[in-house]
């Protein structure tokens, strides 16, 4: 298995028509989140139809990252479906921690309350994988592994529609749920 990401084959075209950037829920340097007016139940029905999952995501948002991108971090949730809307030349890099003191916990606040992310000292990490995502691509993404995003200065802001699970679930839980062998 791939412990970092898995390509998913779901058609969200009809659902994503109404995305806009009217209501910002989080603003950090080069990183913003927006309220997405998308019904999570419709998405869960689609996921169940295709993958028969039992653990359902409970949140969606539109994420915008602007050049030059964001440094190494882990998100407030462990697992997300990333729908890359316009990412052409941006690169996501995954890292392995070389020492236990490589990260700092930071508390942030969005419209729903406080949450914690970790930021990492790049000198105490080793690159394990790099991916370039294409527009329209959909990945089940392990956001509990340290990762960074680099966007060339000539690129437009990178928009991702994100479908996230509560942090009580690990990537492994959700990956196994997507890949369980039906008997």
CA distance 109 to 98: 29
Nearer to Fe ion, 33 or 75 (CB): 75
The site map against Fe ion for 51-90 (x = CB under 5 A) is ------------------------x---------------
> Residue 149 forms beta bridges with which residues?
70, 92
Q: Which is nearer to Fe ion, 33 or 155 (CB)?
A: 33
Instruction: State in Å, rounded, how far the first CA of the chain is from the last one.
Output: 20
- Least Å distance, CB 118 to Fe ion, is 10
For Fe ion, which is the closer residue by CB, 46 or 86? 86
Q: Phi then psi for 118, rounded to 5 degrees?
A: -115, 140
Nearer to Fe ion, 96 or 180 (CB): 96
Find, among 153, 44, 35, the residue nearest to 89 by Cα. Answer: 153
Angle (CA) 102-32-36 rounded to 5° is 125
**Shortest Å distance, C-beta 54 to Fe ion:** 25
Nearest distance from C-beta of residue 143 to Fe ion, angstroms: 5
What is the size of the binding site for Fe ion (CB under 5 A)?
A: 1
Residue 155 touches Fe ion, criterion: CB under 5 A: no
Task: State how far the Cα of 151 lies from the Cα of 67, in Å rounded to an integer.
Answer: 5
The residues near 132 (Cβ < 8 Å, ≥ 6 apart) are 89, 90, 91, 92
Q: In the bound complex, what is the minimum distance in angstroms from residue 37's beta carbon to Fe ion?
A: 22
Q: How far is the CB of 150 from Fe ion (least distance, A)?
A: 13
- What phi, psi does 162 have (nearest 5°)? -120, 140
Q: Which residues bind Fe ion (CB under 5 A)?
A: 75
């Amino acid at each position: 298995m791939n412990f970092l990401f898995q390509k998913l084959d779901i058609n969200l075209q009809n659902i994503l028509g109404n995305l806009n950037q009217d209501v910002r829920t989080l603003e950090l340097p080069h990183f913003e989140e927006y309220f997405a007016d998308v019904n999570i139940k419709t998405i869960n029905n689609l996921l169940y139809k295709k993958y028969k999952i039992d653990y359902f995501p409970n949140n969606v948002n539109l994420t915008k990252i602007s050049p030059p991108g964001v440094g190494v971090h882990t998100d407030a949730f462990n697992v997300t479906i990333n729908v890359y809307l316009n990412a052409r030349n941006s690169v996501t890099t995954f890292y392995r921690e070389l020492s236990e003191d490589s990260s700092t916990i930071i508390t942030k606040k969005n419209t729903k309350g406080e949450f914690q992310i970790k930021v990492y000292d790049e000198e105490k990490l080793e690159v394990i994988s790099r991916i370039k995502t294409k527009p329209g691509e959909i990945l089940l993404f392990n956001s509990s592994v340290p990762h960074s995003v680099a966007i060339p200065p000539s690129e437009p802001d990178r928009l991702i529609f994100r479908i996230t699970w509560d942090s009580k679930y690990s990537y492994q839980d959700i990956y196994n749920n997507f890949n369980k062998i039906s008997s």
